[in-house]
Structure 1
């Protein structure tokens, strides 16, 4: 039986030795320990001693928002231990994968050419493409080289590293094929959008196309495109789709300004893209979504919830990504009025809303345990849980429709 929380092998993943696999599993288990063993202690620490210490030192209580909570917590040794171990675990997970990639670099490049040739979809890598500075200037998620990879855009190493590394980062909650976000949104479309059947689909910020492929599975006759600013990611994504036997188009493009014609797509989606963009880029991405959608087309962005949907302490926990995991836009993105922004660029006001797409991997696990379909959906669609990845809370989706 398929183990829901182990990544399923495919042709484009490196084969780990026993030692490499053990290190990778340790890095995943360490993140699980931090989530389950250390993180729950932060709340009691704040209430029982951090607030009192702050009052003694400043003569006043911390402000009841995530910034005030942080000021009270940063000097506490328990929080310092939590933050340090969390950062170490993030660096360790990438490091645990690099050896496998470097050892098989030549074979992976050959395999990529083979499977990219099997993918009948287009692969567009333009000359002299300029990666936005907000992506290129730092190693997002502490991933060596960041999304664009190091030095050689003609390689696929950055894509290989992301495919395996992000699975470890999610602690298995992205599912065996690392595609839980796309699969969860596809399930949502199938169940909630009343027979909506798009003929052309665009996935913005697709990285390795792991969330892109479920759309081709659900809508096999559709023209599906994945775009990303990182050449290594889309080159790997094209080969990866070929390894899964799917014909999907990939291109190096900036979601702020693609080269697609007006009204070309029926559905535009993204999966954890928005928190990787700058405050100036996000409005342009929404404008571009509106431009490339046909009348009546739908925009869906899947991410974690905005701050106004969670309590201040949960905001503080999530905002640790901003401070300690090279995610400078993580906190700021959640303060943007995304509903207002979607309405401003032209989406039908009464169509713009947040909703929750139950996690497909949790539904799968519940069904395997004998739950009915309805009960399995309930297991997956439970309340948001504090934590950097927040497994089990369902994916928050921003939905908007272009007027017909």
Structure 2
């Protein structure tokens, strides 16, 4: 079994009892088994069995992910893989719920106390209505989703997400689950030398995992994280304070914020776009253009579009759409994101896809900062597969720059 990081036990994270911790480690290990033990077997099952059956029936090979799914779904090996993968996902969340519920009154009070210790702003809108595409189902099967509140001031779903996201990533996002933000920060350092944004916005920040690295890289910047879930930004604000960071958080919809035109020099998001609807995504890109100052940058980090992948890899990744309550996962990757950015007003020559290598795999001092050498080496030896977040050890980023002059 891979020896990855243990999650950092910051003051807002629920503390697991011995039995709860054992269940959580079992759930994480089961996910590792599915990804490392069962997932690699899908390719030979497809090439040696399913594809041949398709060719016999149709006289040709499967041409896209939909045809591959059609011929793979009846196969017992795929059914075993898909069922166990879903079971592991549900078990993962269930293994954390007991810890959260047992400590919820203390966690809610702790959030209030930590938030009171920081000068950073926390803006919660009492009559805010999250978009239906977020609340209509429990995204990635997390009970309650991002916005459910059990009582005023509740942070239960956020505490569940903080621990559950670590287990979902099986530890490879680092002790603070912040590898994605750190990776984009490293990209900014290397690709945008001399760029020093005064104000930074993280859209769809959830509990602020990827938000805080920007405050570390740019300590004098005014940093904001926004999300449609009140509990998650409430928790994010307290978590940041508990980690010694003054970062502002607000409950807002990235489609239409209340910040003034040109307020931010850098806007980022981390796996936000695949959790927004096809109608919302163009509005978010247009809002990014409105909010950016002249010459400012937007960087959306997610998985790459399907046209950059083989049909079989598309099929593997699209399992999230079918079996993990990620309804926009596949559809988002078919959208022409370059065109969305150009239509929103970004100059065509400023818009491009790029790869931000995972900070956890970086061998440089700046990439490894905050990770121990032994742990970094252990993760660097790991083979990342198409079924995980970052195939090949890199995050795909959509980068656009607002024109310097109108």
Residue 393 of structure 1: CA displacement? 2.0
Is 1:283 the counterpart of 2:282? The answer is: yes
Shift in CA distance, 391/149, structure 1 to aligned 2, threshold 3 Å: farther
Is 1:182 the counterpart of 2:181? The answer is: yes
| Residue equivalent to 1:237 | 236
Within 5 Å, give how 1:34-53 maps onto structure 2.
Answer: 34-53=34-53
Question: Does the CA-based 8 Å contact 1:296-1:401 persist in structure 2?
Answer: yes
Three-state SS of the structure 2 residue aligned to 1:104 is: helix
Is 1:171 the counterpart of 2:170? The answer is: yes
Shift in CA distance, 150/326, structure 1 to aligned 2, threshold 3 Å: farther
Provide, for residues 255-288 of structure 1, a one-character-per-residue CA deviation record: whole Å limited to 9, x for no partner: 0000000000000000000000000000000000
| Residue equivalent to 1:296 | 295
| Residue equivalent to 2:18 | 18
Is 1:393 the counterpart of 2:393? The answer is: yes
Find the aligned partners of 2:72 and 2:141 in 1 and give their Cα distance.
Answer: 23
Three-state SS of the structure 2 residue aligned to 1:342 is: helix
Note the aligned Cα RMSD (angstroms).
Answer: 2.0
Three-state SS of the structure 1 residue aligned to 2:396 is: strand
Residue 215 of structure 1: CA displacement? 0.5
Is 1:368 the counterpart of 2:369? The answer is: no
The alignment's TM-score, normalised by the length of structure 2, stands at: 0.93
Question: Does the CA-based 8 Å contact 1:317-1:388 persist in structure 2?
Answer: no
Find the aligned partners of 2:148 and 2:60 in 1 and give their Cα distance.
Answer: 45
Find the aligned partners of 1:177 and 1:164 in 2 and give their Cα distance.
Answer: 10
Provide, for residues 292-319 of structure 1, a one-character-per-residue CA deviation record: whole Å limited to 9, x for no partner: 0000000000011111111110000000
Residue 361 of structure 1: CA displacement? 1.6
| Residue equivalent to 1:141 | 140
Residue 369 of structure 1: CA displacement? 5.3
Three-state SS of the structure 2 residue aligned to 1:397 is: strand
Find the aligned partners of 2:265 and 2:257 in 1 and give their Cα distance.
Answer: 16
| Residue equivalent to 2:211 | 212
Shift in CA distance, 50/358, structure 1 to aligned 2, threshold 3 Å: same
Total equivalences in the alignment: 394
Is 1:125 the counterpart of 2:124? The answer is: yes
Find the aligned partners of 1:383 and 1:268 in 2 and give their Cα distance.
Answer: 31
Gaps of 5+ in 1: none
Residue 153 of structure 1: CA displacement? 6.0
Find the aligned partners of 2:209 and 2:58 in 1 and give their Cα distance.
Answer: 51
Provide, for residues 306-344 of structure 1, a one-character-per-residue CA deviation record: whole Å limited to 9, x for no partner: 111111100000000000000000000001111111111
Find the aligned partners of 1:370 and 1:71 in 2 and give their Cα distance.
Answer: 40
Residue 391 of structure 1: CA displacement? 5.8
Residue 392 of structure 1: CA displacement? 5.2
| Residue equivalent to 1:101 | 100
Question: Does the CA-based 8 Å contact 2:149-2:155 persist in structure 1?
Answer: no
Three-state SS of the structure 1 residue aligned to 2:146 is: coil
Residue 384 of structure 1: CA displacement? 7.5
Question: Does the CA-based 8 Å contact 2:5-2:375 persist in structure 1?
Answer: no
Question: Does the CA-based 8 Å contact 2:278-2:332 persist in structure 1?
Answer: yes
Find the aligned partners of 1:148 and 1:105 in 2 and give their Cα distance.
Answer: 16
Residue 241 of structure 1: CA displacement? 0.5
| Residue equivalent to 2:365 | none
